[in-house]
Structure 1
């Protein structure tokens, strides 16, 4: 897969490894996350929605058996929310509003089925980014540790210079913003 955002992309020669040509693909599934060459997340979100819909069926079946709300909420957290939040710190910041809305509708459907309030995707994303950023700041051996630079006051982190929306919506600027707030 070739990720290249230049306006005039040059024709690249085919890649060969041990006399065999490696095919170029437009998307690739890596550790359960579908990455496309334009770094858009619609194919990944489509697969998340499909998995969540399949699991919502089981939630409805459990509701028919009159399980208590607490058990239904635990089932949702373990089975559906875990699917919705798989690698959320990677894709949520640059997902489109319509894709996030489609995912949030899955949460609302589960909310109606359970009959209890559930955390929104934005809340889940915020908590996971903050938790991951804190782990990085506390681990000096982490490759991203140096990206979290404290100001002389030692209370806030230095915000990086951002030139593009793609960079603004990526993990590090979002994490710095959440740690400073």
Structure 2
């Protein structure tokens, strides 16, 4: 903590101890209580969860509180979508409203919490409600997560200065041929596991007719 205070002073930054909290993530059964932290001669409050850039991070790294917060925000905005329905607005306008106002809430930090969240179905219910109001199909939560992950992966691959850029190493030569068999996938999509790749529509099997003569 002293190093942090010194670094902030050297870079002309001022720490606000009243807005600073401490969260301890420790899954040991017999974990010893951590020593209290002081910042600028002020004690730092220990909390079980806190909001960081709109995302609620809990001490047990579960996302129930965050999902409840997202659902509450999305439901509030669903009211305005229903009002647009009453005014008989075109579906394209309602879809644009949903994408910019509601979809952006449901996908907030989705690349962080989607893989480990257990109650994602509650968010999918919000999407189904919007589908009934608009009268058309909307991207599922799984597809939204896949698209956001691809977008994030593409930015990391294109930015050599990103700390995670080196994690996207090219595969060995013996895997490269199999990896690039599907030319319809973009480079970020080819880096994803098979279960997260976009689904492709399989062509219908050829129809064969047989005739019998007597």
Matched, 1:145 2:161: no
Q: Which has the higher helix share?
A: 1
Give distance in 2, aligned partners of 1:120 and 1:131: 17
2:169 counterpart SS class: coil
Deviations 1:131-179 (A, max 9, x none): 11121122111001112222222735xxxxxxxxxxxxxxxxxx74269
Change (3 A) 1:44 1:141: same
User: TM-score, structure 1 length as denominator?
Assistant: 0.84
User: TM-score, structure 2 length as denominator?
Assistant: 0.71
* Unaligned stretches of 5+ residues in structure 2: 1-22, 180-190, 198-214
Looking at CA atoms only, which structure, 1 or 2, has the larger radius of gyration?
Answer: 2
Of residues 85, 90, 94 in structure 1, which corresponds to 2:107? 85
* Higher normalized contact order (CA 8 Å, seq sep 6+, divided by chain length): 1
Matched ranges for 1:26-175 at <5 A: 26-96=48-118, 99-153=119-173, 155=176, 156=179
Matched, 1:177 2:188: no
> What is the aligned partner in structure 1 of residue 34 from structure 2?
12
Give distance in 1, aligned partners of 2:74 and 2:113: 17
Which moves more between the two structures, 19-28 or 105-114?
19-28
Which moves more between the two structures, 141-150 or 79-88?
141-150
Give distance in 2, aligned partners of 1:178 and 1:138: 22
User: What is the aligned residue count?
Assistant: 161
